[in-house]
Chains A and B, each alone.
Chain A
Amino acid sequence: MPGSAKPRYDDVEVGSELPGQTFPVHRVNLVMYAGASGDFNPIHWNERFATAVGLPNVIAHGMFTMAEAARVLTDWVGDPGAIEEFGVRFSRPVVVPDDDRGATIEVTGTVAEKLDGNRVRVELVARSDGQAVLTRARAVLRLLP
């Protein structure tokens, strides 16, 4: 979280956990993300279209999920400029029904490796509705010494 003490390379160990977060997702978030990102693929806002192409319902942009996962990194490290590498595989869609509940994305992270130059490799897990929605979610971050 912004304002809390930032991790230092010397204090971090393999297995150290990043503070996990749960992100709610409603249709309005996907509409906002479509506008901000320029990705207007109708599978992200049009239920009629999404179901016609074989999806269970409207799904979140993969990049929306990736952006939420990145918040676990940036809130932990403080300076978003400390992220040197971030990659994911989109293993399952986040299905977002048109109701008051919407969906949630739960993200946790663990330090997997300490690298040279005060850098660490972090592995993230993102789940929605009990299923992994990102796999091979890995980032390299530069920490304070």
Chain B
Amino acid sequence: MPLDQSFVGRTYPPTPPYEVGREKIREFAEAIGDANPVYRDPDAARAYGHPDVIAPPTFGIVLSMTAGRQVIADPELGLDYTRVVHGEQRFTITRPIRAGDRLTVIVTVENIRSAAGNDMITTRGDVTTVDGEPVFTAYSTLVARGTAGG
């Protein structure tokens, strides 16, 4: 079943603030096996001019994927989540995420299409602090394998 094209261009309300904690950053760094001290030690981060520990460049997915669920889990969209794999991901980063940030995500549906029998949806998550300072933008393309027929 094709996805509902009327979702393209739809923008969702800002997500509730996500407070970035030092231990969450450390947990993420451990999970990717990265021993870099800038993810754990505030002094090491300050040596590079950051006010507190920063997060690895792909940490933003923790926020943007959760925010994107309000689109992809919407039954009206018609996405078969059991068939979904990640197709593409891109981050444009204004500044690194750091401990103490309170971040909110505004999700927009950028594109919906079918190719080679797969349904694809691209969402954009614009992430700012609760005070409106831009932090990063995440572009995610999800692919539902073999759901478009053909």
- Size category, B interface: 35 or more
B interface secondary structure, majority: mixed
A125 to chain B, nearest CB (A): 16
Q: Does B36 contact A (CB under 8 A)?
A: yes
Query: Within the assembled complex, what's the spacing in Å between the Cα atoms of A35 and B24?
Result: 10
* Residue from B27, B32, B33, B95 with most neighbouring chain A CB atoms (10 Å): B32
Say whether B89 contacts A87, CB under 8 Å.
yes
Query: Within the assembled complex, what's the spacing in Å between the Cα atoms of A75 and B85?
Result: 28
Query: Within the assembled complex, what's the spacing in Å between the Cα atoms of A30 and B119?
Result: 26
* Residue from A37, A80, A83 with most neighbouring chain B CB atoms (10 Å): A80
Say whether B83 contacts A53, CB under 8 Å.
yes
Give B contacts to A, CB under 8 Å.
24, 27-28, 30-39, 48-50, 54, 56-58, 61-62, 65-66, 82-93, 95-96, 139, 145
Say whether A68 contacts B32, CB under 8 Å.
yes
A9 to chain B, nearest CB (A): 17
Give A contacts to B, CB under 8 Å.
2, 23, 29, 32-33, 35-39, 41, 43, 53-54, 61-64, 66-68, 70-71, 73-75, 78-81, 83-90, 93, 136
Say whether A37 contacts B28, CB under 8 Å.
yes
When C-beta atoms are compared, the residue in chain B nearest to A85 turns out to be B92
Say whether B57 contacts A86, CB under 8 Å.
yes
When C-beta atoms are compared, the residue in chain B nearest to A136 turns out to be B88
Beyond A32-B30, A70-B57, A74-B36, list 8 extra A-B contacts (CB 8 Å).
A37-B31, A37-B65, A41-B84, A63-B58, A78-B48, A80-B54, A81-B49, A85-B90
Say whether B87 contacts A35, CB under 8 Å.
no
- Chain A residues contacting B87 (CB-CB under 8 Å) are 89-90
Say whether B48 contacts A66, CB under 8 Å.
no
* Residue from B24, B57, B86, B95 with most neighbouring chain A CB atoms (10 Å): B57
When C-beta atoms are compared, the residue in chain B nearest to A49 turns out to be B82
- Chain B residues contacting A78 (CB-CB under 8 Å) are 48
With contacts A53-B83, A54-B145, A86-B57 taken as known, whether A38 is within 8 angstroms of B90 at the C-beta atoms is: no
With contacts A79-B38, A87-B91 taken as known, whether A37 is within 8 angstroms of B62 at the C-beta atoms is: yes
- Chain A residues contacting B145 (CB-CB under 8 Å) are 54
- Chain A residues contacting B48 (CB-CB under 8 Å) are 78-79, 81
Say whether A88 contacts B88, CB under 8 Å.
yes
With contacts A63-B89, A87-B90 taken as known, whether A74 is within 8 angstroms of B57 at the C-beta atoms is: yes
Say whether B89 contacts A62, CB under 8 Å.
yes
